[in-house]
Structure 1
Amino acid sequence: MLYRRIIFPRLLDLALSGEGMERYRRQLLAHVQGSVLEIGFGTGLNLSCYPEHIRKITGVDPNPGMGSLARRRIASSPIAVDWQVADAQKLPFPSQSFDSVVSTWTLCSIPNVAKALREIRRVLRAGGKLFFLEHGLSEDPQVQRWQNCLNPIQKVIADGCNLNRDMARLIQGAGFRFEQLERFYMPDQPRFIGYTYQGMALPAAEGNFQF
């Protein structure tokens, strides 16, 4: 409990900071519109990367230990943030509440990620989009072997983070279709943790789920 609530938030903040990651955050968030929900809000590293027209967001995170660092960024941000301790697997919002849902380096850690994605789909309004920037399973079999081998260790030291989730398959399986999908290795990161999925997805028509 001490590690998860006090030590891990600071390690995470350090690991996900830096100009390189900020560049990818800005690329993704440049397209966000309307009312915004950010799952896995963490320590608030995305706040400085939202475009100027975004004036308010709702942020949720299951770890209350993220709050001390998050509140500092919220206090210095021009964006009004409704920050809540909440689980993406059971979002405390009515259906069709948001125009945009943002997930950055979050889907890797949710125990039942399929359930969380269905919840995201539920709270999106018609025409709403999921914006995602996630690491996951590489297309390279050799890298996959390392990811599978190291995954049990990663889950322990990184609060449930998985190295080997096929994010594209999971997002499609939850009833989304991709408007944009890019896959690449994040520069200056080990390949087993740096394989990245970035893009935008919309809820697919009923009956078009891909499991």
Structure 2
Amino acid sequence: MSFYHEHILPHVIGFACGQPQIMKKRSQIVPLATGRVLEVGFGAGPNLSFYDPARVSHLYALEPSEGMRRKAADAIAACPVTVELIDLPGEEIPLEDASVDTVVLTYTLCTIPDAEAALAQMLRVLKPGGKLLFSEHGGAPDADVAKWQRRIEPVWKPLAGGCHLTRHPDTMMQAAGFGIERVEAMYLPKSPKFAAFNYAGIAVKA
């Protein structure tokens, strides 16, 4: 990893992903997690305060960035839920088949290089009937916004840790074998439109 990716990018991502409109979405999704939980793209732990220790027995926190794991140390120490950090990317989940009750995916799918492989791994480790809770930005439905997303993405990706602007999380999850239980799609307020179209909801493993 470069100096930028390990020492500067974690702060940039932490600032961007900690904006009030994004934290509001996290607060609506993360408390739904139950049982043994896998969070893919744990980052610096912005979701930790939203986990209910009465409902979550163990949290596997998958995060490949050393810089992000360093930033997460204080939040983990203060968390009442048992957190187990895993230094691997989403394409390499080292858990047994059907071993977790909930997967949490917030503002992460956009940056995973092989998102299809990562979603296949999430499906594999979920128990039958398990849920994937997600809140992700992605491709906008408006032609003018989508056009600008395609134009900006090649420049945006190297600056934002590989972040894609044009992915459609819900259709990607369905293609991976998940059923969409519910999804809310909208532009987040007070955000640049090219990065503001948000998909939040629940996908299930049949």
Q: TM-score range by the shorter chain?
A: over 0.9
How much has 1:18 moved relative to structure 2?
Answer: 3.4
Sequence identity percentage: 37
2:34 corresponding residue in structure 1: 33
Secondary structure at 1:145 match in 2: helix
2:19 corresponding residue in structure 1: 18
| One-letter amino acid of the counterpart of residue 39, structure 2 | E
2:148 corresponding residue in structure 1: 146
- Equivalent residue pairs, number: 204
Secondary structure at 2:14 match in 1: helix
Q: 1:57-68 maps to which residues of 2 (within 5 A)? A: 57-68=59-70
Q: In 1, are the aligned partners of 2:35 and 2:58 still within 8 Å (CA)? A: no
Structure 1 unaligned runs (5+)? 205-211
1:110 corresponding residue in structure 2: 112
- Cα displacement string for residues 178-197 of structure 1 (whole angstroms, at most 9, x for unaligned residues): 11111001111011101000
Rounded Cα–Cα distance in structure 2 between residues aligned with 1:47 and 1:159: 22
- Cα displacement string for residues 133-152 of structure 1 (whole angstroms, at most 9, x for unaligned residues): 00000011110001000001
1:48 corresponding residue in structure 2: 49
How much has 1:50 moved relative to structure 2?
Answer: 1.4
How much has 1:30 moved relative to structure 2?
Answer: 2.2
Structure 2 unaligned runs (5+)? none
**Aligned counterpart for 1:135 among listed residues 134, 137, 144:** 137
Secondary structure at 1:90 match in 2: coil
1:76 corresponding residue in structure 2: 78
Q: In 1, are the aligned partners of 2:123 and 2:177 still within 8 Å (CA)? A: yes
- Is 2:161 aligned against 1:183? no
Q: In 2, are the aligned partners of 1:55 and 1:78 still within 8 Å (CA)? A: no
Q: In 2, are the aligned partners of 1:183 and 1:196 still within 8 Å (CA)? A: yes
Q: 1:186-197 maps to which residues of 2 (within 5 A)? A: 186-197=188-199
Once the two structures are overlaid, the 10-residue window that deviates more, 84-93 or 103-112, is: 84-93
- Cα displacement string for residues 17-54 of structure 1 (whole angstroms, at most 9, x for unaligned residues): 13332221111112111110000000000001112422
Q: In 2, are the aligned partners of 1:22 and 1:49 still within 8 Å (CA)? A: no
Q: In 2, are the aligned partners of 1:108 and 1:163 still within 8 Å (CA)? A: yes
Rounded Cα–Cα distance in structure 2 between residues aligned with 1:64 and 1:168: 29
How much has 1:100 moved relative to structure 2?
Answer: 0.1
1:3 corresponding residue in structure 2: 4
| One-letter amino acid of the counterpart of residue 157, structure 1 | L
